[in-house]
Amino acid sequence: MVEPYVDRFEEDGSRIRTFSSDIDSDELIWHRDKKDREITILSGVGWKLQMEDKLPKELELGKLYDIPKEEYHRIIKGKDNLVIRIWENGE
């Protein structure tokens, strides 16, 4: 399976992940991560994060979001490319 994003790994251990505005919304599926993550929104307009059993919330530039490991969530497509910085914690 081809991932719906492109990752660039940084020297500080984080990664920069880019989702293209050309992506098909069907590729943005519910999923769980194996590690706790913190993400910061670097750019993107109209994109949303939906956590399990919650309503979608619009992602705000510069805001830090915590995504606990093994919790279902998904990204909902916005208007332009979404660029986020990801830090993973724990095993």
pLDDT digits (tens, 9 = 90+) for 48-81: 999 999 999 999 999 999 999 999 999 999 999 9
Query: Can you give the pTM of this predicted structure?
Result: 0.93
* One-letter amino acid for residue 50 of the chain: Q
Angle at 71 between CA 32 and CA 62, to 5 degrees: 90
Confidence at 89, pLDDT banded by 50, 70, 90: confident
Task: Name, in order, each residue with C-beta under 8 angstroms of 59's C-beta and a sequence gap of 6 or more.
Answer: 41, 44, 47, 48, 49, 65, 78, 82
Q: What is the pLDDT of residues 20-40, one digit of tens each?
A: 999 999 999 999 999 999 999
